[in-house]
A and B are shown apart, each in its own frame.
Chain A
Amino acid sequence: MQDTVVERVLKHPKYEELVKRRTRVSMIFFAVALVIYSGFILTLAYMPEVFAQPLGAGWTMSVGVFTGILVVLSAVIMISLYVYVSNKTFDPLLEEIVRDVE
């Protein structure tokens, strides 16, 4: 019984599209997160002087502290974007598959 459900899902025309697109989207998001995070860590580890500069004349806040705040915000923004994409493109596909199979 379980096997036939799996087979039916596999035969569904939208299933492969769902898996492919979703894998691609999560890989892109993961890559972007990795670039932002490792960029931040590598900069502070190997080019600390970049982060030590003040943000501009008259500022105490350094480039590093400001970047840190942006990096925190970027994590939340990336996750929100991912959820938005999932809700908009994957959930309808998924609903269709589940409806047809069950």
Chain B
Amino acid sequence: MKKLLLSTALLSMFAQPAFAATGQANTSAIVMFLVFIAGTMVITWWAARKTQTTSDFYTAGGGISGFQNGLAIAGDYISAASFLGIAGMVYVSGFDGIIYAIGFLFGWPVVMFLVAERLRNLGRFNFADVTAFRLEQTPMRVLAASASLLIIALYLIAQMVGAGKLIVLLFGLEYKISVIIIGTLMMIYVFFGGMTATTWVQIIKAVLMLAGGTLLAALVLMAFNWNPDVMLAEAVSVHPTGAELMAPGAAVSGNPLNALSLGLALAFGTAGLPHILMRFFTVSSAQEARKSVIWASSFIGYFYLLTFIIGFGAIALLVRHPEYFNLAADGSFDMLKDLVGGTNMAAVHLSNAVGGSLLLGFLAAVTFATIVAVVAGLALAGAAAIAHDLYANVIARGRSTEQQEMRISKISTLVLGVLAVLLGIIFEDQNVAFMVGLAFAIAASANFPVLVLSVSWRGCTTRGATIGGFLGLAFATIWVVLSKTVWVDVFGNAEPISPFPNPGIFSIPLAFAAIWFFSITDKSARADKERDAFTALTVRSQTGIGRSGAQEH
């Protein structure tokens, strides 16, 4: 516990000089931020006493209710990237921002109708438990762990870089220091409090975020007499693109196939994201898992509607405040190019414009909390992939003790924390926007097909799932590396090799087809046994009889 106090002290020590240096700091933001840190430390301290077993560490002992889990999932989902990012996208291109939000949201019907309840009935700690239920342990765990760790690394980089930049602006801290603070806080939550602390931090943050978003959207609408159409009319009249704001624009007109491909990856990726799937093991039963989805999707859908209002409201209102823009010599500004901190800060400036520094401080603190909480969830899913899949089930082949697995997962947490900080610093000046898209593409083309077919198709075999999963993973990764976002923008080549950046439209069907083909041609005795085991799997997935998890106390 001493460590906790120390790091908080360090925090405030770092804080002082940096604030003075940039003058960006906002006292209410810092006070609320410190209150939040203190609160979450108390939770971590409380959770640490309850975290004894691997089940406590990975899944909070399975004792989270459906409503709480729904909030936590919503918290994971409404990350700073999706709140600030979607508001920023609406601010820049109106309707196109809505497309992303809908893609993210439609992952939820897919999760609900295809995987949520079966997942809870079949698995214990993470989704690899499910794919390895009747298929062979080693290849399934290695596949799940490789895809998961890659997804987590990409997500971590995107969050750390985005977060670092944000904190530089909000609190006036130095970039490296803000990245280190995020990494340290995350390690404390996960290392001491495991899933219990991570979940409660996420729940509190989700509530604050929903409250803050509601207030902000309400203040915006109030400014337009509660008439959204008046707000839109004002937005169209001041935005450089005018009425095009209301129509599908640059994001799709250039290449409809790319839009389609992106849409597929967004909708099917959610059902393959390791840190989201892991949350389904924190509830006690399939019924509670079902409740989690309804709460999660309601909160997420509601929050996205708020984000649309915030994005369009920012267009209509920020233009009245030249103080939020970097002005040219003659006092003029381009509302898209000159916004202080870039267009991702549209929502933050808007909170200042309609709610003053108090609301700004509140949103800034909540946004910071969001990043730490999302990063903590990612680290936990990464630790599970290393300790539970690779170590306990592949290297030790199930012969390790619970204490050993726990130790490995804690060491993994520390390593991932350090790695996250390092990656955050290395990628500081890279454009990392493509990384979340790539993470979704890998989740949709490797994890999702394997998960769905292994629980719902009798014919699926280890050979089919392994080849199909790795093909999807490799295809999606190589495609993105050869696309404009990496091949040209990062490596500096003249021409991209992939015709458009999003691989989903090819990689997802490819993975499904490969799993099918290499399964039906698998004539081995092992494959026959696996097909026979499908009956037992279905009984368990449908009824939950014999499931593990919450009862282990």
Q: Which residues of A are in contact with B by a Cβ distance under 8 Å?
A: 2-3, 5-6, 9-10, 15, 18-19, 22, 26-27, 29-30, 33, 37-38, 40-42, 44-46, 48-49, 51-52, 54, 59-62, 64-65, 68-69, 71-73, 75-76, 78-80, 82-83, 86-87, 91, 94, 97-98, 101-102
Contacts and interface: CB of A to CB of B under 8 A. Distances in A.
A82 B228 CA distance: 31
A30 B95 CA distance: 26
A98 B263 contact: no
Interface stretch (B129-137, B292-300, B435-443): B292-300
Contacts of B301: 72-73, 75-76
B305 interface: yes
Contacts of A61: 228-229, 232, 246
Contact of B246 (A22, A42, A65): A65
Interface string B518-553: 000000000000000001101100111110000000
A83 B503 CA distance: 33
Greatest chain A CB density within 10 A among B105, B253, B259, B542 is at B542
Contacts of A91: 287
B18 to A, nearest CB: 40
B290 interface: yes
Classify the secondary structure of B's interface with A. Answer: helix
B112 interface: yes
A52 B110 CA distance: 28
A64 B95 contact: yes
A37 B113 contact: no
A33 B542 CA distance: 22
Interface in B394-429: none
Nearest to B98: A68
Contacts of B545: 5, 9, 98, 101-102
Contacts of A49: 247
A33 B290 contact: no
Q: Which of A5, A18, A44, A83 lies at the interface centre, i.e. has the most chain B CB atoms within 10 A of its CB?
A: A44
Given A18-B542, A26-B113, A30-B113, A44 B290 contact: no
B227 to A, nearest CB: 10
Contact of B535 (A5, A6, A26): A6
Contacts of B101: 68, 72
In order of increasing CB-CB distance, the 7 nearest A-B pairs are A52-B247, A62-B246, A45-B256, A33-B109, A48-B248, A41-B263, A60-B233
A3 B99 CA distance: 48
Contacts of B112: 29, 79, 82
B247 A51 contact: yes
Q: What's the dominant secondary structure at chain A's contact region?
A: helix
Given A52-B247, A76-B301, A44 B99 contact: yes
A37 B535 CA distance: 33
Interface of B: 94-95, 98-99, 101-103, 105-106, 108-110, 112-114, 228-229, 232-233, 236, 243-244, 246-248, 252-253, 256-257, 259-260, 263, 267, 287, 290-291, 293-294, 297-298, 301, 304-305, 308, 535-536, 538-539, 542-546
B109 A30 contact: yes
A78 B113 CA distance: 10
11 contacts: A29-B109, A45-B252, A48-B252, A61-B229, A61-B232, A64-B95, A68-B98, A72-B102, A76-B297, A83-B291, A83-B294
B109 A80 contact: no
A33 B293 CA distance: 15
A20 to B, nearest CB: 10
Contacts of A51: 95, 247-248
B542 A79 contact: no
Contact of A42 (B253, B260, B536): B260
B129 to A, nearest CB: 16
A40 B252 CA distance: 13
B276 to A, nearest CB: 15
Contacts of B252: 44-45, 48
B248 A64 contact: yes
A34 B422 CA distance: 40
Contacts of B257: 45
Nearest to B293: A79
Which of A19, A33, A41, A68 has the most B CB atoms < 10 Å from its CB? A41
B543 A60 contact: no
Nearest to A82: B112
A11 to B, nearest CB: 11
Contacts of B108: 75, 79
B546 A64 contact: no
Contacts of A72: 101-102, 105, 301, 304-305
Contacts of A15: 539, 542-543
Contact of A64 (B246, B256, B263, B298): B246
Contacts of A38: 263
A86 to B, nearest CB: 6
A69 B109 contact: no
Nearest to B246: A62
A4 to B, nearest CB: 12
